[in-house]
Amino acid sequence: MTPEEPGLAAPDGHAARPVPAGDRAVLVLRLAGPLQSWGAQGAFNVRETKSEPTKSGVTGLLAAALGLPRGAALDELLTLRMGVRADVPGTLLRDYHVVSDFRGRPLPQAGVSAKGVQRPTSPAKYTHVTTRYYLQDALFVAALEGPRDLLDRLDGAVRAPHFPLALGRRSCPPTQPLVLGVEEGDLEGVLHALPWQASQRARQSYAYKLGRRRGLDGPFHPATLACSATLEHADGDDVLRDVPLSFDPHDRAFAGRRVRREWLRIPTGFADPDAPTEFETDENGHDPFELLGR
C-alpha cells in the first residue's frame, strides 16, 4: 500500500516507516465479551457491526488506554500492522429501540425551515424506530506488529488504562484477560502458533459435537483446527476502509488498507489430542464444518 495508490493512503500521509527486524514484536489482544460491535459506518436509525474487529476500533481502544484526547494525532499507532483471528465468530444480535420526546412533543423531521429550525413531523410522529447490531459471545485474537518499545508501552497501558475500554461501543465492556502479552516474531507466526482461546466449556462442547459427527460415543479432541484470519498485507486482494486518520467528532477521516484473508490451522490446546484424521478435510487441510456449532 502506497500513498500514490488510488483510494488508499498511508496512515500518516507518508510512506510507512520500516521497522528493523531486531526491534519487531507482536502485541496480542484477546477481544471477548458478551457483546461486541465493530461498526465501520454509522447512521442514527441503523448501527451495523462488521463480523470482526476493525482497525479503527482496535486503534480507538489503544488510544483510550493511553489517555489520548479525541483530536490527538494517531501517527504512532497507525504504523502498527494488524491481524485478526476469529477463534469464536459469535452470532449476530439485532437490538430493537424506539426514541421519543419525554415531553410528549412530536419528533422533528429532517427538513428545516427558512430560519434553520427543524419542522415537526406531519402527520405527527411520536416515536422513531432505531436498530443496533451486535456480535454476541464472540472471541477474537487481535495481533499488532511493530516496534518493541511502543508495544511494551501499549501492553502496560491496556493493563492499567487511562479511560474505560470497550469492544467497539461503550456499552460493550471486555472480559479478562484482555491482553496476552508481547511476543517475539512476526504477525503470521504469532497468530499461527497461539493456541485456541475459546473457553473450556466451548472447547469441550466442540469436542463432543466433533465426536458425534465421527460416530463416536464420546468427545474427539483434534490437535489442530482451522480459524479464519484477516491479515494486513501490502499485496492483499481486499481493501478495508477502516484506518482512522482522526477521531475528532467534527473531523472524522478514514483511509484504506489492503488485507489478505486466509485460514490458519492452530493448536487446540487439548491436553491429550486424538490421532489426527484427514478424511474430512480438503487439500488445504481445512474442514468446512469446523466452525459450526461452537
pLDDT at 294: 42
Grid cell 481493501 in the structure block, residue: 239
pLDDT at 123: 85
Q: What is the pTM of this model?
A: 0.80
- Mean pLDDT, the chain, rounded, equals 84
- Name the DSSP class of 214: T
pLDDT in tens, 109-138: 777 788 888 888 888 888 878 888 999 999
Length of the chain: 294
For residue 15, pLDDT beyond 50: no
What are residue 86's DSSP bridge partners? Answer: 140
Answer whether CATH 3.40.50.720 is correct for domain 21-110+117-267: no
- At 289, the pLDDT band (50, 70, 90 cuts) reads low
pLDDT at 2: 39
For residue 14, pLDDT beyond 60: no
Residues 6+ apart with CB under 8 A from 164: 64, 170, 173
pLDDT in tens, 74-104: 999 999 999 999 999 999 999 988 888 778 8
Q: Which of 85-94, 180-189, 247-256, 261-270 has the lowest mean pLDDT?
A: 247-256
Cα 172 → chain centroid: 13
Vertex 189, ends 2 and 30: CA angle to 5°? 90
User: Does residue 203 sit in helix, strand or coil?
Assistant: helix
Domain ranges for the chain:
21-110+117-267
Q: Contact, 266 vs 195, CB < 8 A? A: yes
Q: Which of 57, 79, 74 is nearest to 1 (CA)?
A: 79
